Chain A
Amino acid sequence: MQVFVAGKGVITAIGNNVAENLQSFYEGRSGISDITILRTNYAGKLPAGEIKFSNAALAAMAGLEGTVSRTGLFSMIAAREALQDAQIPEPGKWRIGFLSANTVGGMDITENIFKAFHEDHTKADLSEVEQHDTGAITDIVAAQLGIKDFVTTISTACSSSANSIMLGARLIKNNLLDIALAGGTDALSRFTLNGFNSLMILDDKPCTPYNETRKGLNLGEGAGYIVLVSERVAKTLPKKVMASLSGYANANDAFHQTASSPEGKGNYLAMTGALAMTGLRHEAIGYINVHGTGTNNNDLSESIAMERIFGIAPPKFSSTKTFTGHTLGACGGVEAVYSLLAMEHQIIPPHLRWTAQMKEVPFKPVTELMTGVEINHAMSNSFGFGGNCSSLIFSKVN
């Protein structure tokens, strides 16, 4: 049974919606900048893919209260765009699920009230306390969208929203849902900024993944969702369905709590598992949106696993984290949207700021925007802490 992609929505540092994100690829406009919204000592010191809107402005866009966490506001904006894009004629007649993902929950709020709350728990507002956990964010958006049939949240670090998309497809294939709105969201927080900084894997300049001289990642924020539908739902849609989710796999590196194995075992298993499900030969993949964070460890493991699968001439690939930064729990959703855009518009989003060939592998990413590229199958990789590795493959529907 096939699972089709009916809609997509995204908000990142390079745009508030799908069209703006696409335009940024055409213009080669990166969203990595000095931090100006998040209150942190690292403003001006560590760049990030920060979305340059205040919570009040985002709340107005989302149609939610200004007291909602930034994580929830991004989620609402992108999830609603994906649903609207799907143009499902009678959504009420189907079983709809909201499968979201995030890693920080309402941390942007918690870290502001934390001290006062721990001195006197009556001091914090109830809504601030209630939004701390990851599930709270999903519940707020599900309630606003009126989705009730199945709601959950996955939190597997950087692979979180690839896993929520997988779950959506599995629920549809097993006839438990007709429609799955799936993806993820995360907001910048002092928690994650200081955490990644303490691991000494943040670049203090805009990141340069897959460069021999790479120094680390930049954090980003945003949300990305896609609408997955069954064949029955797909037949009712007013517009032609462009793509299916043809393959996916979730694997574990089981090597180290934070580091990837040198041979990229988890990465290899995720990519080969997804390929096996599609039944395609590896040559069929036309584009890989790599995880490509810019850390020494990730890019090495990922490229070695790619070489093992694809040989010395892998498919065209790029890391769009050079535009958005690493959006953590959102990146699987955001980059699923980008992989679909690449197929739909026949483009390879450029991999920015590449200057130096990695010495361990003979290949390099696509560094200039390519247009008119026929892509029939696109792969999106999301690998993370705890060895959680997931790959998705989207295929063009003819």
Chain B
Amino acid sequence: MLYINGTVCLSPQPTSDTSVFLPEVKEYHSNKIFCIDVDYSKFFDAGSMRRMGRIIKFGVTAGILALKDAGVETPGAISTGTGYGLMDISQKFLNSVIDSEETIVSPTSFIQSTHNTVSSNIALMVGCHAHNNTFAHRGFSFESVITDALLLGKEGFDNILVGAYDEVSDHSYRSMMRMDMLRAEPCSNLKLFSESHCGTIAGEGAAFFVLAKQKSDPTYGTIKACKTFPAPADANDLKRTVLGFLSDNGLSPKEIDIVLSGHCGDAKADRLNNILTHDTFSEQSILAFKHLCGEYMTATSFATWLAAKMMKTQTIPEVLYLENRNREPRNILIYNSLKANHSLMLFANV
């Protein structure tokens, strides 16, 4: 268990201001939605910013702002996750390799293309020489980071900066189209769950957290556990896994107040979420989040940001509700799936 003592999220919604919680909700009419930029020139000098791809700017900025939110200058360790990595800049480099038939390529794009660029840039900016990891495993990327951080907490590390970031790149968007994951027609993100459809919307964002052994005043709440598992055989298999996870953490389903469910608006992909939320958590408040941030490999970092903000403010934005408005944000469970990658995360307020 670790305390969440600071967090900042940059997303397609107005989430960057730590003093408020979703003051308004943005509606988009598209099957891909992008991060709202902040003024990055406040964080980088012109000399280094000229080389940075968009994901580096919003990823590093979210990390630096989360440290500021927690009042921590140099973290005790850094662990980050990204599903697709720095796809846009990799694509730029690959284009130069192919177009020039391997004669004229850009070293800058290559340098910036490695998955650990965001994590190492943060280390560089805050002078952090400690443990520095980057996970890049699809729908487990952010969950692996949380596992890493929970271990680090037991190993004597403190004020661990964790986060995740992914971008809608031309390549990732085309890939999701090819895999039939996206709506064929533009749609309103706020009507993502209104009727049965095929496909979701592509999204992106960066969310960072400072996890600590002692609570700050005020803290956001605690992250208690995380579990990743492959696609369940059926709804019963999923239920067994969820109950097992809860009991490992000394909880019964009744004690859960809120389920943040990774509903994505695709009827087929949401089938297990629907069964789980109706069957096992019929009395709980069921919330969704992907209509706000879109689908991406590290979307659970956005859900974690929502959980943290809900715990701290003890409010639930109306736009999140799928079912039941009866519970308060105390024990929160995130259930998410992205193809074969399924995950659970557990939070509790203090």
Contacts and interface: CB of A to CB of B under 8 A. Distances in A.
Given A134-B137, A135-B136, A174-B151, A252 B123 contact: yes
A195 B90 CA distance: 10
Contacts of B85: 133-134, 155
Nearest to A254: B123
A155 B128 contact: no
B114 A155 contact: yes
A134 B87 CA distance: 12
Interface in B66-109: 78, 83-85, 90, 93-95, 97-98, 101-103, 105-107
A85 B128 CA distance: 39
B135 interface: yes
A153 B83 contact: no
Interface string A8-43: 000000000000000000000000000000001110
B178 interface: yes
Given A135-B136, A155-B115, A111 B124 contact: no
Contact of B111 (A121, A199, A252): A199
Contacts of B124: 254-257, 387
Interface residues of B, number: 61
A386 B60 CA distance: 14
B129 interface: yes
In this complex, the member of B106, B110, B127, B130 whose beta carbon has the largest number of chain A beta carbons within 10 angstroms is B110
A64 interface: no
A254 B128 contact: yes
A154 to B, nearest CB: 6
A190 B110 CA distance: 12
B197 interface: no
In this complex, the member of B84, B97, B128, B340 whose beta carbon has the largest number of chain A beta carbons within 10 angstroms is B97
B228 A130 contact: no
A251 B120 contact: no
B116 A157 contact: yes
Contacts, number: 182
Interface in B134-187: 134-138, 140-141, 144, 147-148, 151, 154-155, 170-171, 174-175, 177-179
Contacts of B179: 126, 129-130
Interface in A145-191: 148, 150-157, 163, 167, 170-171, 174, 176, 190-191
Contacts of A194: 97, 102, 105, 110
Contacts of B336: none
A199 B110 contact: yes
A122 B137 CA distance: 25
Contacts of B93: 191, 195
B11 to A, nearest CB: 21
Contact of A121 (B84, B120, B174): B174
Contact of A386 (B114, B135, B175, B177): B114
A103 interface: yes
Nearest to B120: A386
Contacts of B83: 133, 135
Contacts of A152: 135, 137, 140, 144, 147, 228
In this complex, the member of A118, A157, A171, A198 whose beta carbon has the largest number of chain B beta carbons within 10 angstroms is A198
Given A154-B133, A155-B114, A126 B151 contact: no
A174 B121 CA distance: 30
Contacts of B129: 251-254, 265-266, 269
A353 interface: no
A257 B134 contact: no
A308 interface: no
In this complex, the member of A190, A194, A197 whose beta carbon has the largest number of chain B beta carbons within 10 angstroms is A194
A155 B116 contact: yes
Contacts of A115: 98
Contacts of B175: 121, 129-130, 132
A386 B120 CA distance: 5
A197 B106 CA distance: 10
Contact of B115 (A110, A121, A134): A134
B178 A122 contact: yes
A358 interface: no
B131 interface: yes
Contacts of A81: none
B175 to A, nearest CB: 5
A384 B228 CA distance: 28
A388 interface: yes
In this complex, the member of B131, B154, B177 whose beta carbon has the largest number of chain A beta carbons within 10 angstroms is B131
Interface of B: 78, 83-85, 90, 93-95, 97-98, 101-103, 105-107, 110-117, 119-121, 123-124, 127-138, 140-141, 144, 147-148, 151, 154-155, 170-171, 174-175, 177-179, 228-230, 297, 340
5 contacts: A170-B151, A176-B147, A257-B124, A266-B129, A388-B116
Rank and list the top 3 A-B pairs by shortest CB-CB distance, nearest first: A386-B120, A195-B110, A135-B137
Interface of A: 40-42, 103, 110-111, 114-115, 117-118, 121-122, 124, 126, 129-130, 132-136, 138-139, 148, 150-157, 163, 167, 170-171, 174, 176, 190-191, 194-199, 250-258, 265-266, 269, 384-388
